């Protein structure tokens, strides 16, 4: 091992390992710079082969490396260079071929140049990946274990990484194509659920199916497992309209997790934006995962369920300058990543070590090509963008006229699908809830925080609750946005499950191996008097009631509700609020819960509330409420009532209170049916009472209603049948402590 380099020189320190012994290269024809990636087709003279094309602006040479089943490597120089794209056609190379790239260039970390041909690189456009990353020292472009840690990233490691990294797979473009010809993913073959009618179910492909007793053992944890009728039956009975899949792009496990015997379970560590994650494939990884994913989408579509992907285009698994060299870093570090003022380091708006340089045209092309691929060739119906504010940054600040948002807005494919922003990142000015343009919906964390605070008794008044229940007009009533711009959620994959939210006040993340330092401390939870599991039946009954309250609030609010897989049946993570590395029973849905009557009742309530929402357009409005009087009776489309049954006045909104009544009029819904006729619905009265003691509520008299039929009472354990009790207007009804009551108004 050579001695350490001086810090400010421009020498190329190296750490040498065993030299590679590649086989002789076959003939490479010029090929074409378009499209990028590896495309199998019939070339000149009717000869079949594969065209390889890779963008690298600063490289000095590029080799495509072909591997046989024994790991023997054949290097094929790509000598054609057109507009910064290296390309060549290799005759005889067909589907199933394993490949990667070696890219030659300068090693000068001080200027951001990190080319190292000893490292085999994954094609950013690879349609499938065979194998997983183990991250030994050989896969790092620098000497990972250099004694002088502060200089380690400047010392080039020349050991060959090929034996230790996954390979790209040449995929048959017809693999998994549907029967009947034509465009199998055309709009008329998709569910196309309107935003206002959508109910989203966030799930993990592996975690949802690993313990499902109806899914055959060989299919559990896979795309085929999610496509199985037993898995889809649960979704259909529940009534959700879309699944939002945690990341399914090929991802890598972080080194610090592998060293602790853990794995990245959630997958927010992407490395292949075109490849379905190979570990979720039941049928093999030589390209068959592509067809299996497509079959999953077809099965969900046949059940009327849309597929939304959670995508991570803000950073990659290569991490900071101390991370491994897997793909983009070795192809063109300065082109793909945002570098800091000191280009040896990265601008990090993600908290994950790097940020993609989205304003660079070829990086923007990579992202949009990937998005279109998943829509047009894989059949997905939309995307939820992790840390979307990082994508919306121009050179530094978040900019709603940024290149990324502008390209999406005019793209004829992408502007038609569902687009959901996680509207923040970790950089300065990164919190952008309510700021994305009209094409987008957003995860509304203001909704999450307000609803949690109300039910734990931490809201100073009910002003914010009124906004959240009625569609968050304070955030979204501008620029043509609608109530469905708000994706309402109480829980998400990140944080406590719904059951843990009412069972724990402190995180319990010891199993993650970080001394309980990871995960947020701002849980806004209430354990109902006992931390964690207990045998106290009174506490357990209160927790189950709180779960019913939270679910009812979510599913009766205006906007798009999002449930997390398992919340509808009492799933717990044992108080772990950051289970990203728990690929085990902690991170998997426990289907045995449905054998317990208490959790079957919770599932029945969730299903009944979703059905109620589906049946009544007043509960899924396409326009904001006006609050103004309509018609000769002077009814408003939305009215608010105090616990005494009188309409709220301005001072009532500022007064401390644990009770709020919401009247939703079905008479004047500002939308039309398919023939242009008016949409008329029932009216509903929803009363939320978070007080720890019983209260009283006087049902409003005419013109609001003559009688009120009770539909939902969360104080009841048995939710299988509608209560159906009718109360006359003016009656003072009992509000059980901590409960939601829903009445249909009888006029």
- 445's enclosing H/E stretch is helix 445-455
Backbone phi and psi for residue 348, each to the nearest 5 degrees, phi listed first:
-120, 95
Nearest to 90 by CA among 53, 122, 123: 53
Nearest to 502 by CA among 686, 712, 714: 714
User: Would you state the structure tokens that stand for residue 123, as one six-digit string?
Assistant: 């094609």
386 part of the active site: yes
In whole angstroms, what is the distance from residue 712 CA to residue 708 CA?
12
Ordered DSSP codes for 602-671: HHHHHHHHHHHHHH-GGGS-SS-----EETTTTEESEEEE-TTSSBP-HHHHHS--SEEEEEE-SS-EEE
Cα–Cα distance list, 717 to 542, 598, 658, 712 (Å) = 10, 8, 22, 11
Place of tokens 């990484």: 161
Place of tokens 């054609």: 80
422 part of the active site: yes
Backbone phi and psi for residue 350, each to the nearest 5 degrees, phi listed first:
-115, -15
Q: What letter does residue 145 receive in the DSSP assignment?
A: T
Q: How far is CA 603 from the centre of its chain?
A: 23
| Strand pairing class (732-735; 695-698) | antiparallel
Contact between 331 and 121 (Cβ < 8 Å)? yes
In whole angstroms, what is the distance from residue 297 CA to residue 380 CA?
7
Backbone phi and psi for residue 329, each to the nearest 5 degrees, phi listed first:
-60, -40
Nearest to 133 by CA among 152, 154, 119: 119
CA angle at residue 327 from 322 to 331, to 5 degrees? Answer: 100
Contact between 442 and 487 (Cβ < 8 Å)? yes
Q: What letter does residue 692 receive in the DSSP assignment?
A: S
Q: Identify the three-state secondary structure at position 418.
A: strand
Q: How many CB atoms lie within 10 A of CB 465?
A: 23
Q: Identify the three-state secondary structure at position 152.
A: helix
Nearest to 162 by CA among 63, 93, 94: 63
Contact between 166 and 154 (Cβ < 8 Å)? no
Contact between 555 and 606 (Cβ < 8 Å)? yes
Q: Which residues of 217-247 are buried (b: 16+ CB within 10 A; e: fewer)?
A: eebbbbbbbbbbeebbebbeebbbbbbbbbb
Contact between 334 and 354 (Cβ < 8 Å)? no
Q: Among the options 63, 377, 422, 567, which is catalytic?
A: 422
Residues 6+ apart with CB under 8 A from 268: 247, 251, 312, 352, 386, 580
In whole angstroms, what is the distance from residue 265 CA to residue 670 CA?
44
Q: Among the options 306, 386, 637, 668, which is catalytic?
A: 386
Q: What SS3 string covers 262-319? A: CCCCCCCCEEEEEEECHHHCCCCCCCHHHHHHHHHHHHHHHCCCEEEEEECCCCCCCC
Q: What letter does residue 676 receive in the DSSP assignment?
A: S
User: Would you state the structure tokens that stand for residue 496, as one six-digit string?
Assistant: 């406590």
Q: What letter does residue 691 receive in the DSSP assignment?
A: -
Contact between 338 and 347 (Cβ < 8 Å)? yes
Catalytic residue positions, numbered? 386, 422
């Amino acid at each position: 091992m050579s001695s350490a380099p001086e810090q400010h020189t421009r020498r190329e320190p190296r750490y040498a390992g065993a030299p590679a012994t590649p086989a002789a290269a076959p003939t490479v024809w010029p090929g074409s710079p378009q499209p990028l990636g590896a495309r199998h087709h019939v070339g000149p003279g009717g000869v079949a082969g594969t065209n390889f094309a890779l963008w690298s602006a600063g490289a000095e040479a590029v080799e495509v490396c072909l591997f046989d089943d024994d790991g023997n490597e054949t290097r094929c120089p790509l000598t054609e260079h057109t507009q910064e794209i290296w390309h060549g056609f290799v005759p005889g190379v067909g589907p199933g071929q394993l490949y990667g790239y070696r890219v030659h260039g300068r090693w000068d970390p001080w200027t951001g140049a990190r080319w190292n041909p000893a490292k085999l690189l994954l094609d950013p456009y690879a349609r499938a990946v065979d194998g997983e990353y183990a991250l030994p020292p050989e896969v790092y472009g620098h000497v990972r274990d250099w004694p002088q840690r502060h200089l380690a990233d400047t010392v080039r490691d020349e050991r060959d990484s090929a034996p230790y990294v996954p390979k790209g797979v040449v995929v048959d473009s017809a693999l998994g194509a549907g029967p009947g010809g034509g465009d199998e993913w055309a709009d008329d073959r998709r569910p196309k659920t309107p935003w206002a009618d959508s109910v989203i179910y966030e799930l993990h492909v592996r975690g949802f199916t690993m313990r499902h007793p109806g899914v055959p053992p060989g299919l559990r944890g896979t795309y085929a497992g999610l496509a199985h009728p037993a898995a889809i039956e649960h979704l259909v009975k529940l009534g959700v309209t879309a699944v939002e899949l945690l990341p399914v792009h090929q991802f890598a496990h972080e080194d610090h997790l592998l060293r602790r015997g853990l794995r990245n379970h959630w997958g927010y560590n992407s490395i292949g934006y075109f490849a379905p994650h190979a570990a979720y494939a039941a049928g093999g990884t030589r390209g068959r995962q592509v067809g299996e994913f497509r079959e999953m989408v077809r099965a969900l579509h046949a059940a009327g369920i849309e597929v939304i992907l959670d995508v991570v285009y803000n950073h990659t698994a290569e991490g900071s300058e101390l991370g491994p060299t897997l793909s983009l870093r070795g192809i063109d570090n300065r082109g793909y990543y945002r570098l800091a003022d000191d280009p040896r380091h990265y601008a990090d708006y993600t908290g994950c070590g790097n940020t993609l340089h989205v304003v660079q045209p070829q990086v923007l092309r990579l992202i949009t090509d990937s998005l279109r691929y998943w829509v047009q060739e894989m059949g997905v119906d939309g995307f939820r963008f992790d840390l979307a504010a990082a994508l919306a940054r121009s050179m530094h600040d978040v900019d709603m006229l940024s290149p990324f948002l502008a390209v999406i807005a005019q793209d004829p494919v992408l502007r038609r699908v569902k687009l959901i922003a996680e509207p923040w990142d970790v950089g300065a000015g990164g919190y952008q809830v309510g700021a994305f343009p009209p094409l987008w919906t957003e995860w509304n964390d203001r909704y999450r925080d307000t609803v949690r605070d109300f039910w734990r008794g931490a809201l100073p008044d009910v002003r914010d609750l009124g906004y959240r229940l009625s569609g968050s007009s304070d955030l979204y009533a501008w620029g043509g946005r609608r109530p469905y711009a708000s994706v309402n959620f109480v829980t998400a994959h990140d944080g406590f499950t719904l059951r843990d939210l009412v069972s724990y006040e402190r995180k319990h993340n010891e199993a993650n191996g970080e001394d309980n330092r990871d995960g947020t401390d701002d849980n806004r939870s209430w354990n109902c008097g006992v931390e964690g599991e207990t045998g106290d039946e009174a506490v357990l009954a209160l927790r189950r009631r709180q779960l019913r309250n939270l679910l009812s609030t979510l599913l009766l609010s205006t906007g798009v509700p999002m449930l997390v897989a398992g919340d509808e049946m009492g799933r717990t993570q044992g108080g772990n609020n950051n289970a990203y590395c728990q690929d085990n029973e902690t991170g998997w849905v426990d289907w045995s819960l449905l054998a317990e009557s208490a959790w079957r009742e919770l599932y029945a309530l969730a299903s009944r509330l979703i059905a109620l929402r589906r049946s009544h357009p007043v509960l899924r409005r396409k326009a904001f409420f006006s609050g103004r009087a309509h018609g000769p009776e002077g009814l408003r489309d939305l009215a608010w009532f105090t616990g005494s049954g009188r309409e709220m006045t301005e001072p009532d909104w500022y007064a401390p209170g644990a009770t709020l009544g919401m009247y939703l009029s079905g008479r004047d819904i500002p939308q039309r049916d398919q023939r242009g006729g008016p949409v008329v619905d029932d009216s509903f009265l929803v009363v939320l009472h978070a007080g720890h003691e019983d209260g009283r509520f006087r049902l409003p008299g005419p013109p609001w209603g003559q009688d009120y039929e009770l539909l939902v009472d969360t104080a009841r354990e048995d939710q299988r049948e509608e209560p159906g009790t009718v109360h006359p207007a003016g009656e003072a009804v009992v509000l059980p402590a901590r409960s939601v009551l829903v009445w249909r108004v009888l006029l």
